[in-house]
Chains A and B, each alone.
Chain A
């Protein structure tokens, strides 16, 4: 009886791990898409509205869902707090702190950090170019993430169940 309960637990845990890994693969392209939308919005705020950066970032955060919105909200709050730090410092801190909660990987993080180094520091024309570049890079990452999703999402799910089953069989 005890053995049966243990086997059920192992099976359940393995399945869950598999599902969580699969969910990460599914979320990554979605979150990258959100980043692209955010940058498109920023593009408009800078190009047409000439909205100051702290306000623009706050507006972007309001239009997104967590955990991606947290990144922008945090950066905006740090900028507005008046501690005398530069955009690149605030941006880096916000993205490094909030990144753990997302399903995204280092390539897109590096793209965003590189963008942060130039943000707010030049004329509108130049800013738009940097935003375009970052968006292109993110689009490439999104495509790669979708391919990964197709390849690994189902695999992860079945792998979780099967590994758990294997462990159970070995234990029997």
Chain B
């Protein structure tokens, strides 16, 4: 699967989010760099970093990309305060729930991860204060990125997709892939000669983090195909059930499952005759079978196919593994699990576990 250059429009509307001190410097970055921008990391008093096309660099006060962190611009307290104000639309009180979870999503589906000091109540995180780290992840639609993958996920008997779990480490393109899968399934673009007359399927998307569809007042900003209904900002477990009951989807799509209630809802959906396409954070199949919730689902044979993503540079590779094969692979290697050695995904795109 070629990730390529075609990121579409420049993320200039996104740059408007930044206060003047940061925006001025980011805008001076070379155009090509801005187009391949994936992450902007703002940390108070520490170097301003950007991530792009599989690499990373620091931004110096003159707005140039440099490799030495000593030359980098260091965002001030005022920069960070203003940035927090702007990403919350000047209304911290309206995003308390999101702050508790550690991220907010802004217009355009860009997710902004936050870190700071937590305020606890009864042992649970009640609030996030003194936010000093921002991770701005830029969302881009890559129409057609599911083209080489989808044919391997088809279920010719039922004329639809198999129950699929997409697995990868963070920042490998899960959500982007999921978005395009939803679009292709909904539009009936199966990318397979035999499936040309299947037509599209009704797709229901539970978009808990508003990342898949990037809804603006309920209307998706990204193209999710003509037969897609989106439940925006809804908890997955509840949302899956709501969709199944109310919108009669043939395929439901959910991002980042992993909580016990998610598993319950997924099982309900699976047994209701609805196909499920979901993603989960895990390095490899062993991890899938090691995470309690995923293991429970996997051991019951819920998923018909697993997609493993890995990425080097701008190229995302995928591997599709069938259910039986996956279980065998996980069992085979579970005995000799060593301490994982994790290298930066940007170094060579390979992670060892």
Interface residues of A (CB under 8 A from B): 46, 50-54, 56, 79, 82-87, 120-124, 126-127
Contact = CB atoms under 8 A, between A and B. Distances in A.
B90 A84 contact: no
A86 B92 contact: no
Interface in B276-330: none
28 contacts: A46-B91, A46-B93, A50-B91, A51-B91, A51-B94, A52-B91, A53-B90, A56-B91, A79-B90, A82-B16, A83-B20, A84-B16, A84-B18, A84-B23, A84-B82, A86-B81, A87-B85, A87-B90, A120-B85, A120-B88, A120-B92, A120-B93, A121-B85, A121-B92, A122-B92, A122-B93, A123-B92, A124-B93
Given A52-B89, A52-B91, A124 B81 contact: no
Chain B interface: which size bin?
A: 10 to 19
Contact of B86 (A46, A56, A84, A126): A84
A82 B85 CA distance: 11
A79 B81 CA distance: 15
Nearest to B22: A84
B23 A52 contact: no
Contact of A52 (B81, B94, B96): B94
A38 to B, nearest CB: 17
Residue picked from B19, B94, B127, most chain A C-beta under 10 Å: B94
Interface in B88-134: 88-94, 96, 127
A123 B126 CA distance: 10
B218 to A, nearest CB: 16
A86 B18 CA distance: 11
Chain B at the A interface: SS class: helix
Interface string B4-35: 00000000000010111001000000000000
Contacts of A79: 90
Contacts of A82: 16
Given A86-B82, A120-B85, A121-B85, A127 B19 contact: no
A43 to B, nearest CB: 11
A127 B93 contact: yes
A123 B91 contact: no
B82 A53 contact: no
Given A86-B85, A120-B85, A50 B93 contact: yes
A54 B89 CA distance: 8
Given A84-B86, A86-B85, A123 B96 contact: yes
Nearest to B79: A84
A50 B90 CA distance: 12
Residue picked from B20, B81, B88, B93, most chain A C-beta under 10 Å: B93
Contact of A123 (B20, B82, B127): B127
A126 B126 CA distance: 13
B117 to A, nearest CB: 14
A120 B81 CA distance: 12
B102 to A, nearest CB: 15
B91 A120 contact: yes
Contacts of A121: 85, 92
Contacts of A84: 16, 18-20, 23, 82, 86
Contacts of B91: 46, 50-53, 56, 120
Nearest to B88: A120
B106 to A, nearest CB: 12
Residue picked from B18, B23, B82, B90, most chain A C-beta under 10 Å: B90
Contacts of A127: 93
Interface in B44-88: 81-82, 85-86, 88
